[in-house]
């Protein structure tokens, strides 16, 4: 049985995984991140590419890592120019995405990745059971549902 199952590996789900791993609340082998896509943040990357987003709306302290200045330090080490915009230091999409990839690689988040679509979640005596469309089942003590607003979900009676 896993310690944690995170449903959806977008920004919120990957941020939660980063927090759990960096705070020592779990290890990558006790974590599953279930997402329809092949890799973390795939939907985010697709959506931001479609609209050709040059800079994020959020300031530089909003990112996946637990240290609020992690993104700024990452950009400084790379010695990139023009990677922040305005007084709130809004990061460029490129630097934000590269920082996300760096954090995910550093924590080996892809080892916890389970590609699939969740069809049901059931409470059990010891935790939660997650059923995937391909009939695979995952059992975990704790669960995080981090689906985005675009996901259609069904709330049982």
Exposure b/e, 99-129, CB count within 10 A at least 16 = b: bbbbbbeebebeebbbebebeebeeeeebbb
Instruction: Assign 156 a pLDDT band (cuts: 50, 70, 90).
Output: low
- Among residues 140, 16, 106, 118, the alpha carbon closest in space to that of 66 is found at 16
Looking at residues 9-27, what average pLDDT do you find? 97
How far the first Cα of the chain sits from its last, in Å, is: 27
- Among residues 108, 82, 104, the alpha carbon closest in space to that of 95 is found at 82
Overall residue count recorded for the chain in this entry: 157
CATH class in words for 2-145: alpha beta
Indicate if the pLDDT at residue 153 is higher than 90.
no
Q: How far apart are CA 114 and CA 136, in angstroms?
A: 10
pTM of the complete model:
0.91
């Amino acid at each position: 049985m896993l310690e944690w199952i995170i449903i959806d590996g977008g920004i919120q789900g990957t941020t939660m995984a980063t927090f759990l791993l960096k705070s020592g609340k779990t290890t990558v082998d006790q974590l599953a991140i279930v997402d329809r896509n092949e890799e973390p943040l795939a939907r985010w990357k697709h959506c931001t590419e479609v609209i050709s987003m040059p800079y994020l709306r959020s300031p530089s302290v909003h990112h996946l890592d637990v240290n609020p200045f992690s993104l700024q330090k990452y950009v400084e080490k790379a010695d990139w120019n023009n990677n922040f915009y305005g007084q709130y230091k809004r990061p460029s999409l490129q630097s934000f995405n590269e920082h996300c990839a760096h954090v995910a690689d550093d924590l080996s988040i892809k080892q916890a990745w389970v590609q699939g679509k969740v069809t049901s979640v059931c409470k059990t005596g010891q935790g939660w059971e997650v059923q995937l469309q391909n009939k695979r089942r995952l059992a975990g003590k704790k669960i995080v549902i981090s689906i985005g607003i675009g996901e259609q979900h069904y709330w049982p009676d």
